Homo-oligomer: A and B are copies of this chain.
């Protein structure tokens, strides 16, 4: 038997994915909503949320739900690190290779079995430092 849900690529889902893939600002659901509305004026905010959840589950995008009352979304599903500026409050992608040895260190030094990790840096961006 095959229980995997058949996800359809609707025009709404396609538009949401395209908007998210074409920005680096790690937008909120509401920002995405405003952008997609330019193309599909009567799209509903619920549709944005539902599709972001589906896309995240399918590993097409990444949810950044760190340290805030709302989530931000990232069109790059590969693990990478972020930098949060304490002044301008923007979130930047860091051009650093992933430290895979962090997982290994945990697995060597503890009884936990680490499969992945999330690392976020806080400080000042080049413009604000």
Q: Please give the residue numbers on chain A whose beta carbons come within 8 Å of chain B beta carbons, in ascending order.
A: 63, 65-68, 83, 86, 92, 94-96, 99, 102-103, 105-106, 109-126, 129
A-side interface mostly: mixed
Q: How far is the CB of A74 from chain B (nearest CB, A)?
A: 13
Q: How many copies does the complex hold?
A: 2
Contacts of A105 in B (CB 8 A): 96
Q: Which residue of B lies closest to A127 (CB)?
A: B111
Q: Is the CB of B68 within 8 A of A114?
A: no
Contacts of A123 in B (CB 8 A): 103, 106, 112-116
What 4 pairs across the A-B complex have the smallest Cβ distances?
A111-B126, A115-B123, A114-B123, A114-B121
